[in-house]
Amino acid sequence: MTSTPRKAERANGVATRQRILEVAATMFGATGYEATSLRQIAAAAGVNLATLKYHFGDKPALFSDVYRSGHEQLVAVLAPVVQTLGRVQSAEELAERLHEIVGQVFDYMTDNHAFVRLTLFRMLEESSDAIDLEMRLQGDAIALIELALSHLQERGIARAVDTRALVVHLMTALPAWFIAASGRPDWFGDEAHLKAAFVAFFGDLLRQNLVS
């Protein structure tokens, strides 16, 4: 009989933690890391400051969890298809696969608008906590891409490329383009047309840089 209340309490704790994460992502994405306080996040999440600190400790820890969560979701989407790049048999197939990956990035950004905005604010701020975390997470992405491309480069399907420079470029250009273009329906029309433009532009960009 005592297990049911305990299970309910744990479930409530998980739900509270998730709600705080979602609210924090939205607020960090709206005003940036430096301008967002824990008190503001707690109030918006409907919890007191003590509850927020119980789950996350301090502001750098909360931001790290928000940033890590968004990044891990993106990697979970992309990792399976990136890992299959090594099995591509031709330059034409590689170009097609790159366009597919860009399309998946667009879908992720559409579903995680707050995190996309958060990454843009991160680029403009000098928080050492955020920069250190970003470097670790980008290192994982670089290793994943390097492994996939190395097999293609050995077979002459992909060009040798500075993977670190490529990842930094994409981490900057993709969210900036997405946010700017999303606010211009007069240029790109509805979401389907926006996605088509996004995939065509960045898919061709990757093809030009990677496909032999």
Residue 130 has pLDDT above 80, yes or no: no
Give the pLDDT confidence of 14-26 residue by residue, as tens digits. 899 999 999 999 9
The answer to whether residue 116 sits within a structural domain is yes
Residue 108 has pLDDT above 80, yes or no: yes
> Rounded to two decimals, what is the model's pTM?
0.79
> Which residue in 191, 201, 8 sits closest to 113, CA to CA?
191
142 lies in which domain range? 59-210
Across the chain, mean pLDDT equals 86
Q: Which residues, 6 or more positions from 138, have their beta carbon under 8 angstroms from its beta carbon?
A: 167, 168, 171
The answer to whether residue 51 sits within a structural domain is no
The answer to whether residue 149 sits within a structural domain is yes
The answer to whether residue 73 sits within a structural domain is yes
Give the pLDDT confidence of 30-77 residue by residue, as tens digits. 888 888 999 999 999 999 999 999 999 999 889 888 988 888 888 888
Residue 127 is predicted with a pLDDT of 62
The answer to whether residue 6 sits within a structural domain is no
Gap between the Cα atoms of 60 and 38, Å rounded: 10
**In the chain, how many domains are there?**
1
Residue 178 is predicted with a pLDDT of 94
The answer to whether residue 63 sits within a structural domain is yes
- The CATH number of whichever domain residue 109 belongs to comes to 1.10.357.10
Type of residue at 25: A
Residue 129 has pLDDT above 70, yes or no: no
The answer to whether residue 39 sits within a structural domain is no
